[in-house]
Structure 1
């Protein structure tokens, strides 16, 4: 199961947990599993966020792999100027 780290303001939607575990093989499956397990996260996920898998920021690639031992961080969407 992938360990997904949530930023502080998202934790209230996951019973205060900083890290949640979900079964997923891709970033898209992970986001879908998070929404099912913690429906309160859905608005933030749908609004857009950044995902880092094992230290690499994944940009708009729901097919990017997530291994069972991957460390995943949800980040507020990174915006450039």
Structure 2
């Protein structure tokens, strides 16, 4: 199962889980299943059915937030990299 690493800003939705295992063959399927298990993830991740511009998604070390058809292997790691404001 692919491991989805949950950013601190979303852990209120995942009952403080830092990572979640998802059985999915593509990034889109994994995100759909993640939102099914933890309603509200979709709202934080998507804007008008595309990944919010302020979020990057890394699959196995490669940034590819715009390609939701990215295949996942059983040992894939998915990281969400939300923008951090400040100055």
What is the alpha-carbon root mean square deviation over aligned residues? 1.6
Determine helix, strand or coil for the equivalent of 2:20: strand
Does residue 56 of the first structure (1) align with residue 62 of the second (2)? Answer: yes
Determine helix, strand or coil for the equivalent of 2:4: strand
**Number of corresponding residues:** 78
**What are the residue-to-residue correspondences of 1:32-71 with 2, within 5 Å?**
32-47=32-47, 48=52, 49-71=55-77
**Structure 2: gaps (5+ residues):** none
Contact 1:14-1:40 at 8 Å conserved across structures: no
**What are the residue-to-residue correspondences of 1:19-30 with 2, within 5 Å?**
19-30=19-30
Larger radius of gyration: 2
Q: Which has the higher helix share?
A: 1
**Structure 1: gaps (5+ residues):** none
TM-score (norm 2): 0.81
Post-superposition shift, 1:36?
Answer: 0.5
